[in-house]
Chains A and B, each alone.
Chain A
């Protein structure tokens, strides 16, 4: 029966946890994110989800992460993963490498999202140079089909400073939600600075 016991334990682990506690992020106050020197000044109130998606990551939302998911990644060093491992044995996440090119980041993010969030498809629709945190960076947009069979759009803005990755990522259903809060995300991006 030991195996069966393990099975039940596994099933309990997989079962959705209780409602996650959130913390309100006040508007118009600088707040550091993702355990790093990166700070943003939101113009509207956001909710920070208390469970960190990764050790160098932080997740904000307005209506719940399924409807608008803002992820911050700060000081991700060589060998780090973007997200917490979901199944290290069978599906280990890709690791960041400090010699990655900015233009390699969409593929790295695709692989991370597919494994960590269970995306079924992922298409990068544009990749542009940009300024982020006062540095040359990359901005890319994508479309992804989640494991809930809902089409979402996303934007990521990233740069690599001294071999460490800084990134902000926004993902929301392409129907209504993506466009509704796109400007709020862009405002967060433009307010981002190193602390």
Chain B
């Protein structure tokens, strides 16, 4: 479920039957039918709705407009699905610390910054983008819409709940559901069979483009693990083994992971991973994206996420973020660890001045006044114009 959104979903009453491809050609990508235009009044109405949402999205300040980052994401999508298919898509990077990408039937693709942060490589990003594009190519959104239209005002409920989810639970900015859906996307619900079909076609794209297919299972498992760590840290049980609820639209998380692994094993060829390319592409943004995650107050999940991104290759940015995470929780042992993470970050990148500040504050808070003051003094020497310099000077009585 986290593949598409944050809200536990019980909305899709309609399960459309899309037969999976035959076993021998299950990953064959069919010829592209070209840009699709709506045919009947249902579709035209839906297109009009999504066009209007896209207009609002295009103007939203929360969309990241950095040309380099947009070119990179678009490049990965185009490499995955091919130039011809790629032409039908407009990509928008929405600054939201959640694992999500979605595609509206009119070709609007929303990619949350949380997905760019969580993907470890181009192959992982490609697997998610390919999966969403597969829903688009098979017009799953439309099937869902047709079915929901016959069952009363389900769509209206989806709108209400979708806005609530996009709003991060906060209601203080009032009732902006139209705008919020426009920015964050309607939480499209697909049927279980539709998910399976999109997985198969998504693997087809990956195989054709030469990406390592196992990446799809990797990033999915990482989402389950991250959720487990969040739950464990908050003293709750894991939900990955939950059974299939009657209304549940997605396969269970575990079933999904097993299916993806099994499919990945059958997908022919493809070894391209693009680990360093991905790291380089998001490097200018990773500090900001990590800061967004830290503000979520999810120690367990964020610590897992940073650990996974570090892998065998720690970077200064990741160590610095981990220092901030531990300093933020602020148990005595956390403060000791935080100071160490900042130290390691400085070993890797002596120009990461903010690490001196973090180390100083962690040490001060754990009662190491002399050492903490020294670190802050170093920080003030290298960053005298820091926006909290006056505050820090007062703290070390300069």
Contacts and interface: CB of A to CB of B under 8 A. Distances in A.
B364 A101 contact: yes
Interface in B329-368: 330, 361, 364-365
Interface residues of A, number: 57
B296 A148 contact: no
B392 interface: yes
A3 B161 contact: no
Given A65-B172, A121-B62, A147-B180, 9 more contacts: A3-B245, A10-B161, A86-B169, A90-B6, A93-B297, A104-B365, A122-B295, A126-B388, A151-B61
B173 A14 contact: no
A99 B330 CA distance: 9
Interface residues of B, number: 49
Query: B175, B365, B388, B395 — which one has the most chain A CB atoms within 10 A of its CB?
Result: B388
Contact of B169 (A66, A102, A118): A118
Contacts of A138: 391
B170 interface: yes
B35 to A, nearest CB: 29
B296 A114 contact: yes
Contact of B170 (A4, A66, A115): A115
A145 B179 CA distance: 14
Interface in B360-395: 361, 364-365, 387-388, 390-392, 394-395
Nearest to A12: B160
Contacts of B180: 147-148
Interface string B296-322: 110000000000000000000000000
Interface in A102-124: 102-104, 106-107, 110-111, 114-122, 124
Nearest to B182: A149
Q: Which 8 A-B pairs have the closest CB atoms?
A: A118-B170, A127-B388, A86-B169, A117-B172, A87-B169, A14-B164, A118-B168, A146-B173
A138 B171 CA distance: 28
A15 interface: yes
B391 A128 contact: yes
A140 B168 CA distance: 25
Given A115-B169, A145-B61, A149-B62, A14 B160 contact: yes
Nearest to A86: B169
17 contacts: A7-B10, A14-B171, A15-B160, A66-B173, A86-B169, A93-B297, A106-B388, A111-B294, A114-B296, A115-B295, A116-B172, A122-B295, A127-B388, A128-B391, A129-B394, A149-B61, A151-B61
A12 to B, nearest CB: 9
**Secondary structure class of chain B's binding surface, majority of residues:** loop
A27 interface: no
Given A101-B361, A111-B296, A118-B168, A129 B391 contact: yes
A80 B390 CA distance: 29
Given A3-B10, A16-B175, A103-B395, A120 B95 contact: yes
Q: Which secondary structure characterizes the binding site on chain A?
A: mixed
A124 B6 CA distance: 28
Contacts of B95: 120-121
A11 B297 contact: no
Interface string B154-196: 0001001100101111111111100110010000000000000
Contact of B168 (A15, A92, A115): A115
Interface of A: 3-4, 7-8, 10-11, 14-16, 53, 65-66, 69, 86-87, 89-94, 97, 99-104, 106-107, 110-111, 114-122, 124-129, 136, 138, 140, 145-151
A107 B246 CA distance: 42
A190 to B, nearest CB: 20
Nearest to A126: B387
Q: Which of B170, B388, B390 has the most CB of A within 10 A?
A: B170
B179 A149 contact: yes
Contacts of B247: 3-4
Contact of A148 (B176, B236, B388): B176
A107 B172 CA distance: 20
Contacts of B234: 92
Given A11-B161, A94-B297, A97-B330, A114 B168 contact: yes
B68 interface: no
B392 A147 contact: no
